[in-house]
Amino acid sequence: MRFIISSTLLLKNLQAIIGVINTNNTLPILDDFLFELENNSLTITSSDLETTMRVTVLTDLAEEQGCIAIPAKILVETLKTLPDIPVAFTINPDNLMIEISAGEGKYKLSGHPNNEYPRTPALEDTTSITFNSSLMAKAINRTLFATGNDELRLVLSGVFCELTPEDVTFVATDAHKLVRYKRTDVRSNESAAFILPKKPLNLLKNIFSSQEIPVTIEYNKTNAFFSFANINLICRLIDGKYPNYDAVIPKDNPNKLVIDRHSLLTTIRRVSIFANQSTHQIRFRITGQELMLSAEDIDFSNEARERLNCSYHGEDIEIGFNSKFLMEMLNNIETDEISLEMSLPNRAGILTPMNSENTEEDILMLVMPVMLNK
């Protein structure tokens, strides 16, 4: 088995799929890429058993087809140091030794049998939907930060996707904050719902944000299969019932604050420096058309207070929020102004963008209040 390929082309494609490989694998074979050569086509696979990514590239020259597992880290680190030159791979099928020739350099490493590499699950009874990659990247960016990390509540560690003939909705929550991102410009022929894990979404986000391509998602009850450009990704869906997110969104919120997003974000960022670093508690006191933001850390006698002008309709209110959560949310809204709707100091606040130019996009962010120290 022998092939020649551009070092830059190979490195670019390996870097797109190396994120699947864990740093501590229980199976040593999972530290490898699986190389499969057929005619001029080279297919490279990486897997952690739950998620599998596959990329296909054309070689400049290929002799004898074959299949071998190659240690990923040493290969990628070597390619990083090379200029854009042709690289020749020669694999001895008898002892699985790999010889790499690049310019004046020759490098040897030991490969592993391809039959030890986990097989990609076959998808049966699937339904498909096609997205634009930029839309998918936006949906992931808007929701992923709100997912949970609790291993006992695995359903909250992923993004819930709800497909209907009217719209597509992405939801993420960790029980302290919630994001619902809805698109009416994408529709499914039939209704479906599934929970996508965090890791594959992180991998897809990095690829989608850099290019504009159609993405097809095929899914069944256990797996989701993403195909785009020359890359495929298959991941196991999170098993379980997602909580009724709609039931926790308060519908009656008579107190409405409208304020400049950037001013609020920078003020919270400053004031939160003086907050307790374990609770990140920040106090909102709204009276008339004035918002007073304050934070304190009693242990270190730190205190900050800052005033902002706002547009407010409702009764005077004093409510506490986690500043870290609010900053994450404000960073994931693009409009100049935002609306914060509240009812009582112990009820969730609803954050939405104001005057959004995209009428086909609906974003709602919910943040639970924190108990204020009197």
Compute the distance between CA of residue 1 and CA of residue 34 in angstroms, rounded to an integer.
14
Q: Which pLDDT score is estimated for 45?
A: 97
- The strands making up 61-63's β-sheet, listed across from edge to edge, are 61-63, 2-6, 86-91, 97-102, 105-110
Q: Which pLDDT score is estimated for 260?
A: 97
Place 51 in a pLDDT band, splitting at 50, 70 and 90.
very high
Q: Which pLDDT score is estimated for 32?
A: 97
**Residue-wise pLDDT tens digits, 194-241:** 999 999 999 999 888 777 899 999 999 999 999 999 999 999 999 999
Q: Which pLDDT score is estimated for 371?
A: 87
Region at 355 (left for phi over 0; alpha for psi -120 to 50; beta for the rest): left
In CATH, the architecture of 127-166+184-240 is Roll (3.10)
The 10 Å Cβ neighbour count of residue 303 is 13
Place 374 in a pLDDT band, splitting at 50, 70 and 90.
low
Compute the distance between CA of residue 55 and CA of residue 260 in angstroms, rounded to an integer.
44
Long-range contacts, stretch 243-248, CB < 8 angstroms, 24+ apart:
243/155, 243/156, 243/173, 245/160, 245/171, 245/173, 245/178, 245/180, 248/178, 248/348, 248/366
User: Could you tell me which CATH number the domain at 2-116 has?
Assistant: 3.10.150.10
**Residue-wise pLDDT tens digits, 260-295:** 999 999 999 999 999 999 999 999 999 999 999 999
The residues spanned by each domain of the chain are 2-116, 127-166+184-240, 249-367
Q: Which pLDDT score is estimated for 214?
A: 94
| H or E element at residue 274 | none
The 10 Å Cβ neighbour count of residue 161 is 23
Contact 225, 234 (CB under 8 A): yes
Q: Find, among 373, 363, 267, the residue nearest to 323 by Cα.
A: 267
Compute the distance between CA of residue 23 and CA of residue 44 in angstroms, rounded to an integer.
19
**Residue-wise pLDDT tens digits, 108-151:** 999 999 999 999 888 888 899 999 999 999 999 999 999 999 88
Compute the distance between CA of residue 226 and CA of residue 205 in angstroms, rounded to an integer.
12
Compute the distance between CA of residue 87 and CA of residue 60 in angstroms, rounded to an integer.
10
Task: Give the residue-averaged pLDDT of 36-44.
Answer: 96
Indicate the fold that domain 249-367 takes in CATH.
DNA Polymerase III; Chain A, domain 2 (3.10.150)
Compute the distance between CA of residue 364 and CA of residue 85 in angstroms, rounded to an integer.
49
One fold for 127-166+184-240 and 249-367:
yes
pTM of the model as a whole: 0.92
What amino acid is encoded at 284 in this protein?
F
Kindly tell me if the per-residue pLDDT of 373 is higher than 80. no
**Residue-wise pLDDT tens digits, 144-174:** 999 999 888 999 999 999 999 999 999 999 9
The 10 Å Cβ neighbour count of residue 54 is 20
Kindly tell me if the per-residue pLDDT of 332 is higher than 90. yes
**Residue-wise pLDDT tens digits, 68-122:** 999 999 999 999 999 999 999 999 999 999 999 999 999 999 999 999 999 988 8
Average pLDDT over the chain, rounded to whole? 94
Between the CA of residue 17 and those of 82, 197, 206, what are the distances in Å? 19, 16, 11
